[in-house]
Chains A and B, each alone.
Chain A
Amino acid sequence: MIGNKEITQFQLLFVLIHCQIGVGIITLPNEIFLKAKGDSWMSVLLAGIIIQITIFIFGALMKRFPSSNLYGIIQFLFGKGFGKMIVILYSIYFMILGGFFLAKFAVILRAWMMPTTPKWLLVGLIVMIAVYIVKENLQIMARFLFISSITLIGFIGFSIYSLKEANFTYILPIGNTGVVPIMKGIPTTLFSYQGFEFLLLIYPFVQSDQKGLVKVATITNIIVTLFYTFIVMISLLFFSPNELKIVPEPMLYLVKAFTFKIIERPDLLFTSMWIVLVATTIIIVLYASSLGLSFVMNSNKRSIYVFIVAGISFFLAMSVYGVYEIDSVSRIFNPFIILFAIGFPILLLLIAIIFNKKEVENSG
C-alpha cells in the first residue's frame, strides 16, 4: 500500500513542528506553573529530553520496519483481527483528541474574541478548513503546514517584545521548589508536546532513510523544546507568581497588556495567529484518524473517512461544555495520551525484539 515517497525531509520538519505545537501553547505556562512554580522551565526542558529518548525508540522501530507505518506494524505483530482492533482504538483516540482540541479552542476563542458567536459556527468553520486540506494527499498538507509556520515567528516576536518588562527575580532562586514539583510538571508538559507519534504514521512517505528521519525528528524536538521553554520563561518573567496562578491563558493576557500606536488590541492579532496553529493541529489529528480507518477498511479512498472522522470530532466537541468540564475531561484523557503516544510504541518495539520480528525485505 505504501510506496510513493511524498514529502521531503525539510517538509517533514515543519509537519512535526506543527504536530507538537498546538492548542496548548497559550495555556501551558499557567498549567505547568500550578505544578512546578518558578522552576517550570526546567520541567519543560526535562520533558524535551524524555521526548528525545522516545524519538530514539521510534528510530529503532522504524529501522526494523522501514516501509510500513505504525498501523502496518501493529497488524504485522498482532495479526489481522486483533491488530485491526488496535488500529481502530488509535483512530478513536485521535478522534477524541480532535474533539477535545476543538472544544478547548471554542472555549478560549469565545472567552477572548467572540463571546456571543455560537459554538457550532466556530467549531464548524475550523473543521471545514481542516477537512478541505486533509482530504488531499500528504504533500499538499505538508505544503500548507510549511506556509503556516510563519505564525510562529509572530509568536516569538510578540514574546520578545514583552521581555522589556521582564523581572528576573520572579524565577530566583533557581530550584527552590525542589525536585518533586519539577517532576510533577513533566507530564503536564508532555500533553502539550503530544503529536510526535505522528512521525510513526508518516515516515514511510518521507524521502529519507531511518537515520535521516531520526535526525529531522531530533532537530524538531530541539526547536520545539526551546520554543516551549522560551514561552514558559517569558510568562514566568512577565507575571508575578500570584498573578500567573489566576491567569489561565498567560500568552494572550501578556499580549493584551500592550498597546501599540496603530493596534490597540494586539491580542486579537495574536489570537488569529493562534487559530492557524489550532487548525494545523486539527489537520494532523484528522489525518491520523482517517488514515487508521481507511487502513482498517483496506480502502484507498481516505477522503470518505475524513468526512466521517471530522463529523464525529465535531459532535464530540459540541458535547463538551464549559471550562470545568473540559478540565475534567482532560484529567481523564491525559493518561491515554501517554499510553498511545509513548507507551504503545515502546510495547511494539519490545515485542518485535523479543520475538525477533522484522519486516521482510522488498515486501512492499
Chain B
Amino acid sequence: MIGRLPFIWATFLAVILAGCWDERLLKEHSLVLSIGYDLGTDETIIKTVTFPQESSGDPQQNSPATQSNVITTTGDTVKDAENQLDRLIPEKFDRSKAKVILLGESLAANGIFSTLDSIYRDLRGPLNASVAIVKGTAKDASNLKVNYSRPISDFYSELLISAGESGLTKNENVQSICPIILSDVKDIVVPYIRVTENSNMAIVDGVALFSGDKMTGKLNIKESSMLLILADQTAKGTKMNLKVSSDKEKHDKNFVDFVIRKTKRKLNVYTDNDEIKANIDLTLQVEIDEFSSDQLYSEKKAKALSKEIEKKLNELAVKTIASIQEANNDSLGLGEKVKAYHHSIWEKIDWGESYPKVPIETTFNVEILKHGILN
C-alpha cells in the first residue's frame, strides 16, 4: 500500500489542481482583435484597440458581433498604454487573439521593433496577427466606418489576406518579419494601407519599405507587385495591367491585362573587380486577360506583344529597384547572397552603405501561354 501512495497522490493532485492557477475564463476577458500603435507627442505611444461589441438585443440570438468598440489610450510604452486600458474596460484585456496590428506611419519611421518587443516576449503574444502600416494614424484607421457586416479587425485582416493572395502585397505576420528585421542581410516590406479622407474606405496602397526596423519609403501598388515578382514571392495568379502602346485612339486599346501563371527567377550576385553586381533573370508564363486592340491569331503577333510586355516590365522593374535602393531596402536579399558566397568582400564593406550603389540588372522573358477562349 505504501508503494501506491505517491501514485494515488499524483493522480489526485493532477485532477484537483489542474488549471487552478492558470485558468483564464472567457467571461472575464475582453478579446481585443485589432491593435493600432501611433506615435504621440513627446514620443509617447498611442494605442487604439478594437473589440467586438456584445449584442445588446435578444440574448437567445447568437449572431456574430458586427460592431466594434474602439478605445484609445496613451502611455510611455506599449505595456504602459495597455495598463491604462485596464482602467477603461470592465473585463481584463486579452490581446492573444488579435488578428491585425496596425502601425502609424510616423511610428514606423521611428522604428517598429521596440513596439513589437512586448509581443515577442509574451508567451501568449499574437504572433500570427497580420502587420500593416497605415498612412496617417492607426487611430483613424481603427475608427473606420465600414459598411461590411463584419468587425473592423476582420475587415483589415481579410483585406490584407486577399491583397496577399492576389499578388499585390505580401501578407506578413508578426513572427514572419522578426527574423528579417533582426538580420543585417535582408529587409522587410510590409503592406501599406491608406484611409480615404471621409474615412469610410481603406485601400491597400502598396508596400512600406523598411531599412532595419525603420520605414524609409514606399512603393505604389504596381511597383509592389513588381517587387514581389523580383523577390520570387508572387502569388499564383498575379494580375498586371500594362500600357503597351500610346497611338491607339481608344484609351483602353493601349493596354494589355494579363495573369502571371508561373515565374522562374534566377538571382545572380557576382563580383567584378571587388565590386558587387547583380542581375535578375525572370521567365514569366502569362495568360492574356484582356487585349482589345489586336487579335492574337498569329504567333508572330503574340511574339511582338510579349516583346512589348518585356520592355514595359523592365521599365517598371528599373523604377522599382531605384525606389528600393533609394530607401536602402534590401528586400531582394542580395546581402544574404553576398555574405554567404562572397564572404571576403562582405567583411570589407559596410553593406548599408554599398547596397544603394549596387548595379542590379533585370532581364525578362515573357511567354504567352494562353489567351482565353478568344484568339
Contacts and interface: CB of A to CB of B under 8 A. Distances in A.
B188 to A, nearest CB: 12
Contacts of B337: 169
A118 B7 CA distance: 20
Given A114-B21, A115-B22, A243-B182, A132 B7 contact: yes
Contacts of A246: 182
Interface stretch (A25-33, A123-131, A330-338, A356-364): A123-131
B183 A303 contact: no
B21 A116 contact: yes
A287 B3 CA distance: 16
B336 A169 contact: yes
Interface in B136-182: 175, 178-180, 182
A173 B340 contact: yes
B25 interface: no
A259 B126 CA distance: 11
Interface of A: 111-118, 121, 124-125, 128-129, 131-132, 135, 167-169, 172-173, 176, 238-243, 246, 256-257, 259, 303
Interface of B: 3, 6-7, 9-10, 13-14, 17, 20-22, 123, 127-128, 175, 178-180, 182-186, 333, 336-337, 339-341, 343
B276 to A, nearest CB: 15
A112 B21 contact: no
A214 to B, nearest CB: 36
A121 B183 contact: no
Contact of A169 (B7, B182, B340): B340
Contacts of B17: 121
A243 B10 contact: no
A257 B125 CA distance: 10
A240 B180 contact: yes
Main secondary structure of the interface of A (DSSP, over half): helix
A176 B21 contact: no
A92 to B, nearest CB: 23
B128 A259 contact: yes
B123 A242 contact: no
A173 B6 contact: no
A240 B182 contact: yes
Contact of B127 (A114, A131, A256): A256
9 closest A-B pairs by beta carbon, nearest first, are A172-B340, A240-B183, A240-B179, A242-B182, A128-B10, A169-B340, A117-B21, A116-B21, A169-B336
Nearest to A245: B182
Contacts of B340: 168-169, 172-173
30 contacts: A113-B123, A114-B22, A115-B22, A115-B123, A116-B22, A117-B20, A118-B21, A121-B13, A121-B17, A125-B10, A128-B10, A128-B13, A131-B6, A132-B7, A135-B3, A167-B336, A168-B340, A169-B333, A169-B336, A169-B339, A172-B340, A173-B343, A238-B179, A240-B180, A240-B185, A243-B178, A243-B179, A246-B182, A257-B127, A259-B128
A129 B186 CA distance: 48
A124 B6 CA distance: 10
Contacts of A169: 185, 333, 336-337, 339-340
Contacts of B185: 169, 240
B232 to A, nearest CB: 13
A265 to B, nearest CB: 8
B300 to A, nearest CB: 43
Given A124-B13, A168-B340, 9 more contacts: A117-B21, A121-B17, A125-B14, A132-B7, A167-B336, A169-B339, A173-B343, A242-B183, A259-B128
Contacts of A239: 179
A268 to B, nearest CB: 10
A121 B15 CA distance: 12
B226 to A, nearest CB: 23
A241 B182 CA distance: 8
B161 to A, nearest CB: 14
Contacts of A114: 21-22
B123 A128 contact: no
Contacts of A259: 128
A313 B22 CA distance: 26
Contacts of A168: 340
Given A125-B14, A172-B340, A303 B180 contact: no
Contact of B6 (A121, A132, A241, A243): A132
Contacts of A303: 3
A363 to B, nearest CB: 33
A127 to B, nearest CB: 9
Contacts of A172: 339-341
B336 to A, nearest CB: 4
A235 B266 CA distance: 27
A277 B178 CA distance: 30
A278 to B, nearest CB: 15
A150 to B, nearest CB: 20
Nearest to B182: A242
A83 B165 CA distance: 71
